[in-house]
Amino acid sequence: MSDTYARLFDRNIQAFFGEALRISLHDPRMALFVARALHHQRRAARVRRDCEAAGVHVPAFMIVSVTHRCNLACKGCYARAQHPRGEAEMPPDKLRSVIAEAEALGVSIVMIAGGEPLTRREVLGIAAEHPGIVFPLFTNGILIDDAVLDHLRRHRNIVPVLSIEGHQSETDLRRGEGVHAHVLETMRRLREAGVFFGTSLTVTRQNHDLVTGRPFVERMLETGCRLFFFVDYVPVQPGTECLALTQEQRDEEARRLAAYREDLPGLFVAFPGDEEMYGGCLAAGRGFVHVSPSGRLEPCPFSPYSDVSLEDVTLREALRSRFLETIRLSDEHLGETQGGCALWDRRDWVQSLLHTTNPGATAYAAAHAAESTDLAAQ
């Protein structure tokens, strides 16, 4: 991966925060926070460049799935399908040390995911200890009570991102009866508390026209939502390939989001669609890495294979993983994503790399594949 690639990603992150500053100018406290966050992003980029010069490639962005547990049982949940059952979660002290080391290495955005991360409320306290890092908190919103709301109001670096599927019928069909109404009520309370929040929308072949359409986006803006993650469905369970977007839908999604960025007061991110502007897949440290609930350092949430665990080594040592480096430097496999998930499409190749980089890790890959197949059959 060239230095130009990393600098392009850094510039786009800073441009993203610059746009966030523009849309937050009506709220002086939020604008002040975003301005400070932009300053931190620039400083962290310099730290990452120093690490690169020392032979350690550090991505700007880290996804940390803190738990397998969830209070819902959504249909087609990738976290449930991808993560083996029965594994111990990183204890709070280990999670705290991982985040602290990440900041020291120049990681400037840590996405907190699950399962449902608010089943582990200690993550809120850990995030509050690092005000320079921005923590998007991906949550179903059900567990945001008065205490959580007060914490979010006081610690603006934690940005709740609430998941819905569209209107009531689409959301409740996948997530359970009454979930849509509960999430809208939570959004109302977040807006009244002055908390900057967003939404995560799993985009499928069926709901594409709805959730990427201007009427729906404008309605969400009226709730106070200012951050939109459009996550294209990845068919992690056999038999769900029909839910993946067509190429025409991916192209249309890109056109619509480009228009919204021009004239709507929101921030719009498409995953993995936006990876095209960076020249391909961002996994394995090209843009981000993933930490599993048990502490394995993985290329991506959709590619849960690893040759190293943070229970055994430091994050700095783990980022030197031969497995991650091999993926990161494989432009012929990652340079063209066709708008989809490159590592999922090439998962046989990803698994085969474990044999060459760490033969002992292939036992986990095989066991994990069996586990995912078992879950998909349920």
Distance from the Cα of residue 73 to its chain's centroid: 19
* Nearest one of 138, 136, 146 to 192, comparing CA atoms: 146
Element (H, E) at 216: helix 214-222
pLDDT in tens, 231-258: 988 776 667 778 888 989 999 999 999 9
314, pLDDT greater than 80: yes
β-strand 227-232 against 198-203: which pairing, if any? Answer: parallel
pLDDT of residue 81: 56
290, pLDDT greater than 90: yes
More confident residue, 155 or 13: 155
pLDDT of residue 87: 76
Confidence grade of residue 334 (pLDDT, cut at 50, 70, 90): low
374, pLDDT greater than 50: no
Confidence grade of residue 375 (pLDDT, cut at 50, 70, 90): very low
Q: How many CB atoms lie within 10 A of CB 199?
A: 23
- Measured between alpha carbons, how far is 274 from 7 in angstroms, rounded to an integer? 16
**DSSP annotation of 301:** T
Query: What is residue 300's three-state secondary structure?
Result: strand
Confidence grade of residue 303 (pLDDT, cut at 50, 70, 90): confident
Given a contact cutoff of 8 angstroms between Cβ atoms, the answer to whether 301 and 262 are in contact is no
At residue 128, what is the residue type? A
pLDDT of residue 286: 85
Confidence grade of residue 268 (pLDDT, cut at 50, 70, 90): very high
* Nearest one of 118, 104, 135 to 66, comparing CA atoms: 118
Most confident of 68-72, 96-100, 304-308: 96-100
pLDDT in tens, 201-233: 999 999 999 999 999 999 999 999 999 999 988
pLDDT of residue 5: 57
Tokens of residue 100, six digits: 């602290």
